[in-house]
Amino acid sequence: TATESRNFIEQEIEKDLREGVYDHVCTRFPPEPNGYLHIGHAKSILLNYGLAQKYNGEFHMRFDDTNPTKERMEFVDSIKEDIQWLGADWGDHLYFASDYFDVMYECAVKLIKKGKAYVCDLTPDEIREYRGTLTEPGKESPYRNRSVEENLELFENMKNGVYKDGEKVLRARIDMASPNINMRDPILYRVAHMTHHNTGDKWCIYPMYDFAHPIEDAVEKITHSICTLEFEDHRPLYDWVVRECEFDHGPRQIEFAKLYLTNVVTGKRYIKKLVEEKIVDGWDDPRLVSIAALRRRGFTPESIRMFVELCGVSKAQSSVDYAMLEYCIREDLKLKRPRMMAVLDPIKLVIDNYPEGEVEYLEADNNLENEALGKRMVPFGRELYIEREDFMEEPPKKYFRLFPGNEVRLMNAYFVKCTGCEKDENGNVTVVHCTYDPETKCGTGFTGRKVKGTIHWVAAPTAVKATVRLYENLIDEEKGVYNKEDGSLNLNPNSLEVRECYVEPNFQDAKAYDSFQFVRQGYFCVDSKDSRPDALVFNRIVSLKSSFKL
């Protein structure tokens, strides 16, 4: 199977172990705590954690909190919760990059002393201009040849708050003519008078990602620093920092392609806008693909692991169909969850020859494919609710459900024959009438005759009223995610439908995150935010029909 063969990262790791480059494996997941994690991050988490498991190594959880502008503690907590939920266990290896600010500062001083870094007074615009382009080499800064002494003094001044934001930066002294623009004296440190959530006001200079990240990896003795493809061009700089700072351990950066899902929104900027404009109900709105949203919708860690494994790891950019994620949750829940009856668009069915006031309890299997889930008793009586679409006064061809004169099976119960219906003054059907045949009781082995249709139902007197939310894609798939003219999102106006429905009383004890198969309607999960014991709210995770084939 796909999971037994080795992906390209595993091949590289095994080569490194074989050749003695490393004698152990240590990976990390380094999120910036500036937002909620999404399905793409799940891939990175499970990949890094999985590799550590597979090679008996270590997995580090590290908050890459070196940029104080956008980071918040709220996100630290949500990220931890999401990672734990996914099942990645960092043990006692929880780190904050900001704990290494002293080490980073020392590294910068070392580079200055080696003549490998200098303080530059050019403005951000000038630096950009001097940097050149892909076809044009860069121009050296007039401050590039400052003496070591002067650089040490200016850098210390930077640290001591002598300069305003943007007035001076520390730059690596590499090569302004390098074909790789990242190597043209990149910025290592900038001045930013800001309070950091961890270090407070201790620092007014902060390291840039390309400088900080390799140091974080080297300090923690990470062996394989796995990141996404857009950092491939940064690898020479990553290696330069590790080498020039003279770490005794050199981590190795390996890049893989980001996970993209078709027709979903993952960009933080867009999700933020949807949240702020109240188009969605927070970062965990079940229509989103943040990990919190997937959890709330009813996805399981197992289904996400299966999904990530099916996606595989590659260097080639591609998009995965959302239907594959749906396939995974169906596969996971199929044998695990009970199959119960709920009527989402109720209309009353009266069995005119059934004794008035009588209630009988009928046995029903909880899961036809998994006997271990046992059986339950479902109340039955003279008045039931059925789906409105399961009755038609004038049926088209091949309609095998209820219509005058036709007989169907009520699931787990009896055959009933439709005798007619009642309507209101507008001609809408309000009640369907039928008669039942006591001989045909389910489980008695009745073989006298056959019917073509089976419909589900809920007994009216004991039915529990509940709310269901049916989802469609947040994005109008025909139009694509973004509007070509103004970059706005092409939203699907029907992405959420809320319905009042009836469920069988066996649902009464359903708790947040419990999930069920609603017969013929799909898998549903009790909403963790809005459901109450006396007012259940269910989110449809996925319908039963699939367009996806493995």
Query: Cα dihedral angle (322, 325, 329, 332), rounded to 10 degrees?
Result: 150
The partner in contact with residue 213, picked from ligand ATP, Mg ion, none with C-beta cut-offs of 5 to 8 angstroms by kind, is none
Residue 64 identity (one-letter amino acid): D
Of 332, 333, 329, the C-alpha closest to 366 is 333
Is 33 one of the annotated binding-site residues?
yes
Question: Residue with CB nearest ligand ATP?
Answer: 40
Token readout for 534 is 């006396």
Is 145 one of the annotated binding-site residues?
no
Residue 280 identity (one-letter amino acid): V
Please, what sign has the CA dihedral across residues 350, 351, 357, 360?
negative
Cβ contacts of residue 245 below 8 Å, gap of 6+? 107, 110, 111, 214, 215, 218
Is 32 one of the annotated binding-site residues?
yes
Q: Residue 369's CB: how many other CB atoms inside 10 A?
A: 9
User: Taking CB under 6 A as the rule, does residue 190 contact ligand ATP?
Assistant: no
User: Taking CB under 6 A as the rule, does residue 213 contact ligand ATP?
Assistant: no
Q: Residue 10's CB: how many other CB atoms inside 10 A?
A: 15
Per-state percent for the chain, helix, strand, coil, to nearest 5: 30, 25, 45
Binding mask 268-297 for ligand ATP (x = CB under 6 A): x-----------------------------
Of 353, 369, 348, 343, the C-alpha closest to 468 is 343
> Residues for the chain: how many in total?
550
With respect to Mg ion, which residue has the nearer C-beta, 197 or 388? 197
Helix (H) or strand (E) run with residue 28 in it? strand 26-29
Figure out which of the listed residues 93, 197, 221, 258 binds ligand ATP, where binding follows CB under 6 A.
Answer: 258
Could you tell me if 68 and 192 are in contact, meaning their C-beta atoms sit under 8 angstroms apart? Answer: yes
The partner in contact with residue 510, picked from Mg ion, ligand ATP, none with C-beta cut-offs of 5 to 8 angstroms by kind, is none
Binding mask 11-40 for Mg ion (x = CB under 5 A): ---------------------x--------
Size, binding site for ligand ATP by CB under 6 A? 14
Cβ contacts of residue 505 below 8 Å, gap of 6+? 379, 462, 463, 464
With respect to Mg ion, which residue has the nearer C-beta, 80 or 499? 80
Binding mask 16-45 for ligand ATP (x = CB under 6 A): --------------xxx--x----xx-xx-
Is 39 one of the annotated binding-site residues?
yes
Token readout for 387 is 């789906």
Is 4 one of the annotated binding-site residues?
no
CB of 64 to Mg ion, least distance (A): 7
Binding mask 217-256 for ligand ATP (x = CB under 6 A): ----------xx----------------------------
Q: Which residues are annotated as a binding site for L-glutamine?
A: 64, 209
Positions in the binding site for ligand ATP (CB under 6 A): 30-32, 35, 40-41, 43-44, 227-228, 258-259, 266, 268
Q: Which residues are annotated as a binding site for ATP?
A: 32-34, 38-44, 228
Q: Which residues are annotated as a binding site?
A: 32-34, 38-44, 64, 209, 228
Positions in the binding site for Mg ion (CB under 5 A): 32
